[in-house]
Homo-oligomer: A and B are copies of this chain.
């Protein structure tokens, strides 16, 4: 149990490290700057798997040209301490040059379910996500892979890709971890100024209010979306980008909620874009 964590960068080092792991092997892909949400994934992987691989890679192909790739927060030393304490066996930290060498020209695309919601707001985002996750799956050959529910559409897209591309991998989606006031944990929360941080709880409050309406019997999707809009609009520091009440499988907007649904939103707090969601069922 006191074996030390292997940290590898090159692909050949990873392949060698992987060959030493007994199965089942769990994979936890991250972009670093880890918080308790990431660690809950690692801990779940540790409970369910004999070997745990975590990856840290800020994947440039999933950022749009106007997005926050350059300033995405990093804290490698802190991340490695957290991963080692959580019992990770191998950390793979490739460079962009290793992942996308000169002449790179291959892309993995999931079609229909990447069109709405985050896909419509962030063109090319999911192509970057599915391509890099396919690469992580191929290079690490896990039995299980762990993702967070906060990125609900991402988790569903990866589940679809995994099934479509015949991977022998179980996709495990873990519930969103929240701060004491309800704000969903996110590396991007570190961008928030103190007054924005306080105001950011409005996402959780809006989702909560809509969920209460749902529990009290409201099934009209537009009225549920309006509950969210009304609360976000009361917060002067928040600007709603979208609110969605969509089918949980297809992400098509609903008129009436009569099966499992995803209530989700994206909000700008200044230049910082936050997302969150609740499942209605």
Instruction: Indicate if A108 sits at the interface (CB-CB under 8 A).
Output: yes
Q: Which of B18, B104, B168 contacts A139 (CB 8 A)?
A: B168
Q: Is the CB of A106 within 8 A of B108?
A: yes
Instruction: Indicate if A2 sits at the interface (CB-CB under 8 A).
Output: no
A271 to chain B, nearest CB (A): 33
Q: How far is the CA of A134 from the CA of B138 in the complex (A)?
A: 10
Instruction: Indicate if A165 sits at the interface (CB-CB under 8 A).
Output: yes
Q: Is the CB of A138 within 8 A of B105?
A: no
Instruction: Indicate if A72 sits at the interface (CB-CB under 8 A).
Output: no
Instruction: Indicate if A167 sits at the interface (CB-CB under 8 A).
Output: yes
Chain A, 100-139, CB within 8 A of any chain B CB: 101, 103-113, 130-131, 134-139
Chain B, residue nearest A99 (CB): B166
Instruction: Indicate if A269 sits at the interface (CB-CB under 8 A).
Output: no
Q: Is the CB of A106 within 8 A of B141?
A: no
Q: How far is the CA of A82 from the CA of B67 in the complex (A)?
A: 56
Instruction: Indicate if A185 sits at the interface (CB-CB under 8 A).
Output: no
Please tell me how many copies of the chain the complex holds: 2
- Give every chain B residue within 8 A of A161 (Cβ-Cβ): 106
- Give every chain B residue within 8 A of A107 (Cβ-Cβ): 108-109, 111
Chain A, 1-33, CB within 8 A of any chain B CB: 11, 15, 18
> 4 more A-B contacts (CB under 8 A) besides A106-B161, A108-B109, A139-B168?
A101-B163, A105-B160, A135-B165, A141-B168
A255 to chain B, nearest CB (A): 22
Instruction: Indicate if A164 sits at the interface (CB-CB under 8 A).
Output: yes
Q: How far is the CA of A99 from the CA of B165 in the complex (A)?
A: 8
A126 to chain B, nearest CB (A): 11
Q: Is the CB of A164 within 8 A of B109?
A: no
Chain B, residue nearest A107 (CB): B109
Among A107, A131, A137, A164, the one with the most B-chain Cβ atoms within 10 Å of its Cβ is A164
Q: How far is the CA of A135 from the CA of B101 in the complex (A)?
A: 23
Among A103, A109, A168, the one with the most B-chain Cβ atoms within 10 Å of its Cβ is A168
Q: How far is the CA of A130 from the CA of B168 in the complex (A)?
A: 18
Chain B, residue nearest A168 (CB): B15
- Give every chain B residue within 8 A of A168 (Cβ-Cβ): 11, 15, 18, 138-139, 141
A125 to chain B, nearest CB (A): 16
- What are 12 A-B contacts defined by CB distance under 8 Å? A99-B166, A104-B164, A106-B108, A106-B130, A106-B161, A107-B108, A109-B109, A131-B165, A136-B166, A137-B138, A139-B167, A139-B168
